[in-house]
Amino acid sequence: MRTSNDAVLGLDWVRSSCTLPTAEQPFRVVEFDDLFAIAVRAVDRLSPTTLRLTVDANAAARATELADRESSCCSFFGFEFAPAATQAAAQGAGDTVAIQVTVPAAHTAVLDAFAARAATRADTAALAIRPER
């Protein structure tokens, strides 16, 4: 059950279907916030059920480990990793990895909140959630 404090604590995107113990959920949110702030270079919404995060390749192992743990407690999340050739990389920002995050249609609100949190926390001055064209 979600409470009004969830938004304040950053848990507004954590679904009740998540099996991670409630006491551990704020720590997981902090782990994602750190990843978003340190490594995310772009957030692209490909469809209502698909999000692409472009992250610094140096954070790929950390992102993979975090995604594996998230999938084990929130099985509706899908994470796929692949090398990415992005504008950031072309501008000399270094190698990047694309993380495609998917959810079933019933969980698009979770992905909406996840995407907004990633964009808000990302350490990129002009970053915004960009729709795919």
Instruction: At 77, list the tokens.
Output: 């999340």
Please state, as a whole number, how many other Cβ atoms lie within 10 Å of the Cβ of residue 1: 5
Measured from the Cβ of residue 50, the count of other Cβ atoms closer than 10 Å reads: 17
* Kind of pairing between the strands at 40-47 and 50-56: antiparallel
- Identify the weakest region by mean pLDDT among 10-19, 49-58, 72-81, 115-124: 10-19
pTM for the whole thing? 0.74
**What are the tokens at 46?**
């490909």
pLDDT tens for 117-132 read 899 888 543 454 555 5
DSSP 48: T
Rounded CA-CA distance 1/17 in Å is 10
Cα end-to-end distance, the chain, whole Å: 37
> Which residue, among 13, 14, 15, 19, has the nearest Cα to 72 in the 3D structure?
19
Main-chain phi, psi angles of 11, to 5 degrees: -100, 10
Length of the chain, please? 133
pLDDT tens column, 85-127: 644 445 555 689 999 999 999 999 989 999 998 998 885 434 5
CA dist list (Å): 35 to 72, 121, 123, 132, 133: 18, 9, 10, 23, 26
